[in-house]
Amino acid sequence: MKYKNPILLCDYSDPDAIRVGEDFYLTASSFNFVPGLPVLHSRDLIHWELINYAAKNIPLPGYERVQNAKGLWAPSIRFHEGFFYIFVATPDEGIFFTRASDPYGQWSELKCVWSGRGYEDPCPLWEKDENGRERLFLVHAYVKSRIGFNSKLGLIELDSSTFQAVSEDKIIFDGTKTQPTIEGPKFYKRNGFYYIFAPAGGVTNGWQTVLRSKKIDGDYEEEIVLAQGKARINGPHQGAWVDTSSGEDWFIHFQDAGIFGRITHLQPMRWVDDWPVMGSAVKLNDEKALLVVGEPVNKWKCPEVSGEKNRRGLTQINTDVQQGQGRNGNNPPVSDFQTSANVEKNAGIVATSEKSLWLTPCVCTKKIDSKKFTYEKEIDLMGSWQKNERKGILFLGNEYAALQIEKSGENDFALSYLESSGSEAGDAERSEKILWKKNFTCGKEKITLKMKFRSAKDGKSGLVRFFAKYGKLSFKSKPFSTSNAHWVGGRYGFF
């Protein structure tokens, strides 16, 4: 039986994954959205379920306000001596970790292990020295916009008990000439070699590089192991090596897919002469073959996994992430709606003086996980309202569109449709322009607002239309076209 890529048509940027026993766990960037650091579970590497978030908030000054494109970047997940660990960086504050004995349970609050601007994409490696003493190392990349350079990888040693740094930061690989923009390193050790899997060349048109050395701080040899070539899958970008209990090797990575964000692919992998080969190169190699740069595959034979192989069924490929009930069906569902600031979503009205929804914290959004969907939200007009308060639904990318209700008097409201304008890059404020507006008097208790999303033919952009009907009042918007989404994929929801 074969699976088809992507395994997740949903923005799980910078994925990292591990196997613990017969279970696989994955985490990904969550940037400024909270709860953050999603934790996903799978039994077959194909079907994934959202089971938890490792960061309920971002406990740093300023994150009570919207911080677009900042927050939690490129985490790594590891299991060590009974604990699950996630290490993650924020581009302006430093490197942090959280841990839990149960991935479905409570994760510890983020704790800083390295302070400073310009550090990203940390990944730990535990090992014992010749005296049996445990040591902990972190490999990481650099953010040029904060520190002035990139294309290099650094190494920091932490105390394995306190998790505080016991060394200075040391650059162990310079990819400026051969691996420009190298980032997202993942740290492994196998057959006496230290390995760093890392993408280079940029998100959209880059490739996968693997570094290896007999010494943890280098010198590192380098090989490009996966590149787009003639395949339709661009990138391919940052990811993780995962093995199965049956002895197979696999590589999970993301692809930049426009409005769908950074979607997740699975590539076959094997080892040749202590180097990994991936994708199409797997079927071209035998144990004595030379290394071949692979291309991403669209389809491949499903992983051979032990235990409940068909637990979720492999006949239909997962294109969305279901809300998890927990291992025993007793845990509450995990909501996949997130806010863009540390806001209690059920605490009632959150006062804000922001002029547009771009910087308003009380916006709850969900990732796109389908090429076609309809979203509806029912609004109670008789509930608790303040004058000039507005409620509605929106679709958010680099720009956004919204259909909203605003209270103007005791029983008077206005239904309006707006679109933003601003900047296609960076965090600049967006302004709003109302394109249609009608005043009405409340006659029925509730009104339903609706949007429909359809993927465009290019597979990387979409069209959104908004609808409302309330008595004789009706509205249907023109298509709102959107093709980019400020790193995180398009999102939709309510405010």
Q: Please, which residues have CB within 8 angstroms of residue 131's CB and are 6 or more apart in sequence?
A: none
Q: Please, which residues have CB within 8 angstroms of residue 13's CB and are 6 or more apart in sequence?
A: 28, 29, 31, 74, 254, 261, 262, 487, 488
The residue annotated as part of the active site, out of 121, 183, 249, 406, is 183
Q: Is residue 134 annotated as part of the catalytic site, yes or no?
A: no
CA distance to 139, 213, 271, per residue, from 190 (Å):
16, 11, 11
Q: Amino acid letter at 118?
A: G
Q: Is residue 183 annotated as part of the catalytic site, yes or no?
A: yes
Sort strands 49-55 and 322-323 into parallel, antiparallel or unpaired. Answer: parallel
Nearest Cα residue to 193 out of 220, 169, 171 = 220
Q: What one-character DSSP code corresponds to residue 184?
A: -
Q: Please say whether the beta carbons of 485 and 259 come within 8 A.
A: yes
Q: What one-character DSSP code corresponds to residue 260?
A: G
Cα–Cα dist 58/36, whole Å = 8
Phi, psi of 147 (to 5 degrees): -115, -10
Q: What is the largest CA-CA distance in the chain?
A: 81
Long-range contacts from 96-105, C-beta under 8 angstroms, 24+ separation: 97/124, 97/163, 98/37, 98/54, 98/55, 100/54, 103/25, 103/39, 103/41, 103/51, 103/52, 104/51, 104/52, 104/326, 104/327, 104/331, 105/52
Q: Please say whether the beta carbons of 464 and 364 come within 8 A.
A: no
Cα–Cα dist 32/494, whole Å = 17
Q: Is 284 helix (H, G, I), strand (E, B) or coil?
A: helix
Q: What is the CA radius of gyration of the chain?
A: 24
Region of 288 please: left (phi>0), alpha (psi -120 to 50) or beta.
alpha
Q: Which residues are registered as beta bridge partners of 22?
A: none
Phi, psi of 392 (to 5 degrees): 180, -165
The residue annotated as part of the active site, out of 14, 249, 295, 432, is 14
Q: Which residues are registered as beta bridge partners of 89?
A: 73, 95
- Provide the annotated active-site residues: 14, 183
